[in-house]
Structure 1
Amino acid sequence: MSFFNKVFASVGIGAAKVDTKLERETVAPGEEIRGVVEIQGGNIEQTIDSIYLTIHTTYIKERDDKKYTNVGQVDKFKLTEPFTIHANERKEIPIAFRIPSDTPLTIGRTKVWVTTGLDIKNAVDPSDKDFIKVVPNRLMEAVLNGVSDLGFRLREADCEEAPYRLRRRLPFVQEFEFVPVSGLYRGRLDELELVFFPTSSDDMEILLQVDRRARGLASLFAEALEMDETNVRFRVSSADIPAIKQKIQSVINQYS
């Protein structure tokens, strides 16, 4: 083995390379994605300690009245045990992994990507990055359509660092901000904010923040003190889909 080839490989020159090819780029939370990891050996034989796959997104953190964009890890999978890739050898490893039910949707500025990396001791770990489109599953879509049918328009959707009382598995939540543009709530509400807390593809808890429009002097003071906002939690499941609009409307009516 050439000394120089070994040195170059340790800094990534002439080392093994990885390329992940997914069967599809559009997926809903809770669904499985299949594909293949292609590994191309470099100029020397190398021991691959593991192949790992990580799902990432970005979220907003706020410190000292300044906002920062942070990379968050949604999940990580180990795909293989240690093996050797010979010089110029080509390997294909079939993969299958499930997108976690709490993966954020790629709406607005939210992006989700899959990073595949090779763990090689004493060397720069090669990696590959593939963006995926995460769309609502059947239950999420029913909820979002139900809110839209009540006269609300989605104004913004962002992943933001969650306060500790709202944290589950991840340090952030995806918040959907709606404004009433027609129907019963136009003129009655300022906005509606919604956060999904899925427990599975067929069941979830929803946090709904109802922001009432100020009416009269007392309401103006309440708005100034942010006392005009009401947070309510409720559960929905796939069994609720046929009447999801009515269920959401009932919750809003209690607090608007």
Structure 2
Amino acid sequence: MFKKILASIGVGAAKVDTVLQTEHLHPGQRFSAEIIITGGDVEQEISGLELSLMTKVKVEGENGDYFVNHVIDKWKIIDKCTVAPGEEKRIPFEARLHSETPITEIHTGLNQSSVWLATGLNIDMALDPTDKDPIYVYPNEAVRTFMQAMERIGFNLVKSDVERGYLTAPSFHSTSGCYQELEFRPISQSVFGIREVELSFVPELHKTHVLIELDRAFRQDGYVDLTIEHDQVNLSKICDQLERLLN
């Protein structure tokens, strides 16, 4: 009985660990993992096992901005099972990273974008042990080339964060409940009369949509959007498109 009481507060309870085949992924890429449940000191009933793709989103509050955890995607692994003392259960798992997963592997002075997998083990009459595994998310070719084009026409990436909400434009609509903003500033303040450009990407299977927010001197913010087909990614062409849009 004493061991059961200890297990109910997490001492000697069952543990969960997710082992990814690789932590380095692109949005929309398939990944494989093995979820390992290790029994504790007493037999315990598992009433659910879920895997969640998580990020931190910035929200506005009365006292300023703050960050909260946001679930991008979620998968139910099992509904119910029993774990004997010291028993080890290994569960293979495959899924696809959400296409709108924020990019974490970018070079900027202030990178506030993070992504991880959280494995939650629901144990009857006990605390909920959770395993957190960071994911390193890289831009697809279209996004990477677009960012290179911004640098080539005279802008530096200075900040990255993720905000709560949805993006809507005539040709696309985001679905994850959050969106990443990449903030660029001109190397020279005279570049196109623009003080700041914020980019948000909404990738799909064969194309990536881009929402561009322009902060011009002495003018209100404006929005433009375009779509890059993945089989037509060309740095010079994107540079030309950007120069026309920004002019």
Query: What is the TM-score with the length of structure 1 in the denominator?
Result: 0.84
Q: CA RMSD in A?
A: 2.3
Q: Please state which structure has a larger fraction of its residues in strand.
A: 2
Provide, for residues 90-117 of structure 1, a one-character-per-residue CA deviation record: whole Å limited to 9, x for no partner: 1222222211000111141211111112
Q: Which residue of 2 aligns with 1:234?
A: 226
Secondary structure (helix, strand or coil) at the match of 1:44 reads coil
Distance change (3 Å), C-alpha of 1:207 and 1:251: same
* CA positional deviation for 1:193: 1.4
Report the CA distance between 1:123 and its aligned residue: 1.5
Shift of 1:232: 0.7
Indicate the residue corresponding to 2:210 in structure 1.
206
Q: CA deviation at 1:43?
A: 1.2
Query: Which blocks of at least 5 consecutive residues in structure 2 are unaligned?
Result: none
* Residue equivalent to 1:180: 186
Contact 2:45–2:80 at 8 Å: present in 1 too?
yes
The list of structure 1 runs, each at least 4 consecutive aligned residues, that deviate by more than 3 angstroms after superposition, is: 162-168
Which of 50, 57, 60 matches 1:59? 57
- State the distance in 2 between where 1:56 and 1:163 align: 16
Report deviation, 1:181. 2.1
CA contact (8 A) 1:143 1:245 kept: no
| Separation in 2, partners of 1:174, 1:11 | 38
The answer for the alignment partner of 2:36 in structure 1 is 38
Q: Which 5+ residue runs of structure 1 have no aligned equivalent?
A: 215-219
CA offset digits 1:77-101 (Å, max 9, x no partner): 1112422211111122222221100
Residue aligning to 2:202:
197
Q: Report the Cα distance in structure 2 between the residues aligned to 1:49 and 1:248, rounded to whole angstroms.
A: 54
* 1:37 aligned partner, one-letter code: I
Question: Residues 164 and 52 of structure 1: is their aligned pair in 2 closer, same or farther, counting only changes over 3 Å?
Answer: same
8 Å CA contact 2:166–2:174 kept in 1: the answer is no
| Number of matched pairs | 239
Contact 1:230 1:255 in 2 (8 A): no
1:231–1:18 Cα change, 3 Å: same
Which residue of 112, 121, 125 maps to 2:128?
A: 125
**Equivalent in the alignment of 2:139:** 136
What is the CA–CA distance in structure 2 between the aligned matches of 1:210 and 1:47, rounded to whole Å?
55
Structure 1 CA distance for aligned equivalents of residues 81 and 113 of structure 2: 36
1:74-113, aligned counterparts within 5 Å? 74-106=72-104, 107=106, 108-113=111-116
Per-residue CA shift, 1:106-139, capped at 9, x if unaligned?
1412111111121222221211111111111222
Is the CA contact (8 Å cut-off) linking 1:180 and 1:191 kept in structure 2?
Answer: yes
- Structure with more helix by fraction: 1
Q: Contact (CA 8 Å) 1:150, 1:249: kept in 2 or not?
A: no
Deviation at 1:33, TM superposition (A): 1.8
Are 2:48 and 2:80, in contact at CA under 8 Å, matched by a contact in 1? yes
Which residue type is aligned with residue 179 of structure 1? R
3-state DSSP class of the match of 1:49? Answer: strand
Q: Secondary structure at the match of 2:52?
A: strand
Residue 6 of structure 1 corresponds to which residue in structure 2? 4
